[in-house]
Amino acid sequence: MTDSWSSAAPDLHLDWDPATGRSGLADALRDAIRSGRLPPGATLPSTRALAADLGVARGTVTRVYTDLAAEGYVRTAQGAPTRVASGVERPSSPPRSRPEKPVTRWTLQPGQPDLSAFPRTEWLAATRRVLQRTPATEFGYLEERGVAALRAALARYLARSRGVVADPDRIVVCGGHSHATWLLATALAARGDREIAFEDPSLWAFRRIAEAAGARVTGVPVDADGLVTSELDSPAVMVTPAHQFPLGVTLAPHRRGELARWASTAGAFVIEDDYDGEFRFDREPVGALQALAPERIAYAGTASKTLAPGLRLGWLVLPRTLVEPVRAAMADSGWRPPVLEQLVLAELLDSGGYDRHVRRCRGVYRSRRDRLLAALPEHLVPDGISAGLQLVLMLPGDGPGEDAVLGAARRHSLTVQPLGPHWVRPGPHPQGLVLGYGAPAEHAFQPTVRALLATLADVNLA
Ligand SMILES: Cc1ncc(COP(=O)(O)O)c(C=O)c1O
């Protein structure tokens, strides 16, 4: 568990450190009320929901609500939700530890799963089992490629669930896809390959990481069939074939074949970012591209969507020629993913707990996707809905632009992401919103959808 956890965070944004216990939780709620982030009349989550989100006993939350009611911060009534009371005095100075980013009450931040769904009980049980049986020798300095037990478990899991050609010798455990991007850009640069093509649009943050590792970044267009492979002309390309980020298209079968052939003939490398491959809703899972050319395609997976981004755990299945350069890059970085987390993930994979958790989450996210689709006005037709934790809503060319929608979203205390920063080449580009329906805690999902609809109505889109 982290030291300080902005929990039920996506919705209440409580700056609460679990170590501070019940009194710290009460302080965090007082701060949220005094600062106006929880305005008079706002409904607090039920004690059951908040306790589940925070991972504390329900009685703890009940005591905190009772104390706050006695102090006049909230109103409680039998059979009714607890609400923020009116007339709470606001301090003239800002509350302590106000984050610099504007805080919104609701979030559709793409790329983030429901953090309150983290499988605490299973993780705890797996940790206990690991600690009971792991010899002390395992806690020494680590081999750069990662713990052998995890590499073996990943090889089995990825072959079974994603069709990856995986053996433990070509797997490197890393700190998520961001770290994988840095490792690969560094390893490729060491071989003299200093340019990486990215899909246009693609997640801007990874392009920045590649540049920081010394790579030149170029953009290759994406159309309704995914990456336009005929435009490739770089020694390496990063691609999201199962669910293009952010547009959401699936790389068409003919393009998959072309991409693998291009890599083999040009002697180029493909980096397959399989960030949400576990979450397909409407069709058979799309297997990993990597199986088409395992010596040219580096497969990259992450626990950031399936478990939590804060774990910082990901994995690479590499062409054999890249194993040593990536291992060397890891050694030079001076960092390794922590051994205990690696062993616990291996245990979750081997015990079936990981599969059960993914299956549970798939059902939850699918239902959210359906509820969001049902709520959107008919004339707004989102794309990228067959998989993952986000969809994209293109804005009509003759309507409000991204800036206007973002302004309205702020007024409704909602975080949404514009498409704008993801484009690689200069515009003009179509405008749109990337809506991450995975982010809210379950109890906050419907109010978040309502905030989205109010935002759209504000700019005459609903
Ligand atoms: C396209 C894409 N790939 C990968 C990731 C995962 O990155 P990481 O594993 O560094 O958390 C994200 C997270 O937002 C993403 O949007």
- DSSP class per residue in 292-333: G-TTTEEEEEESTTTT-GGG--EEEE--HHHHHHHHHHHHHH
Q: State the pLDDT at residue 5.
A: 39
Examine residue 246 and say whether the peptide bond preceding it is cis (omega within 30 degrees of 0): yes
Per residue in 92-128, pLDDT (tens digit) is 544 445 445 668 999 999 999 999 999 999 999 999 9
Q: State the pLDDT at residue 301.
A: 98
% of residues, the chain, pLDDT over 90: 76
The band of 6, judged by pLDDT with boundaries at 50, 70 and 90, is very low
Supply the residue whose CA is at minimum distance from atom 14 of ligand 1: 111
Residues with CB under 6 A from ligand 1: 111, 176-178, 203, 240, 245, 273, 275, 302, 304, 309, 314
Per residue in 76-85, pLDDT (tens digit) is 888 888 998 8
Per residue in 159-216, pLDDT (tens digit) is 999 999 999 999 999 999 999 999 999 999 999 999 999 999 999 999 999 999 999 9
Q: State the pLDDT at residue 11.
A: 58
Q: How many whole angstroms from 436 Cα to the centroid of ligand 1? A: 12
Checking if the pLDDT of 16 tops 80, the result is no
* Across 395-399, average pLDDT: 93
Which domains, and CATH codes, for the chain? 18-84 (1.10.10.10), 120-355 (3.40.640.10), 358-458 (3.90.1150.10)
Per residue in 428-459, pLDDT (tens digit) is 999 999 999 999 999 999 999 999 999 999 99
Checking if the pLDDT of 4 tops 60, the result is no
Supply the residue whose CA is at minimum distance from atom 2 of ligand 1: 275
Residues 6+ apart with CB under 8 A from 268: 232, 234, 235, 236, 237, 262, 296
Across 7-11, 76-80, 129-133, the highest mean pLDDT is recorded for 129-133
Examine residue 201 and say whether the peptide bond preceding it is cis (omega within 30 degrees of 0): yes
| CA–CA separation, 156 and 338 (whole Å) | 21
Q: How many whole angstroms from 178 Cα to the centroid of ligand 1? A: 7
Counting ligand 1 atoms within 8 A of each CB, the residue from 178, 184, 390 with the most, and so the one to mutate, is: 178
Angle at 44 between CA 38 and CA 49, to 5 degrees: 135
Q: What is the phi/psi pair of residue 5, to 5°?
A: -125, 115
Supply the residue whose CA is at minimum distance from atom 4 of ligand 1: 275
Reading the block at residue 24, the tokens are 């710290």
Contact 294, 318 (CB under 8 A): no
Q: State the pLDDT at residue 14.
A: 73
Across 12-26, 53-67, 261-275, 282-296, the highest mean pLDDT is recorded for 261-275
Closest listed residue to residue 326, CA positions, set 172, 106, 210: 172
Per residue in 292-319, pLDDT (tens digit) is 999 999 999 999 999 999 999 999 999 9
Q: State the pLDDT at residue 100.
A: 54
Q: State the pLDDT at residue 10.
A: 39
The band of 23, judged by pLDDT with boundaries at 50, 70 and 90, is confident
Checking if the pLDDT of 334 tops 80, the result is yes
Checking if the pLDDT of 273 tops 50, the result is yes
The band of 26, judged by pLDDT with boundaries at 50, 70 and 90, is confident
- DSSP class per residue in 225-246: TEE-GGG--SSEEEE--SS-TT
Counting ligand 1 atoms within 8 A of each CB, the residue from 272, 276, 304 with the most, and so the one to mutate, is: 304
Contact 441, 10 (CB under 8 A): yes
Q: State the pLDDT at residue 456.
A: 98
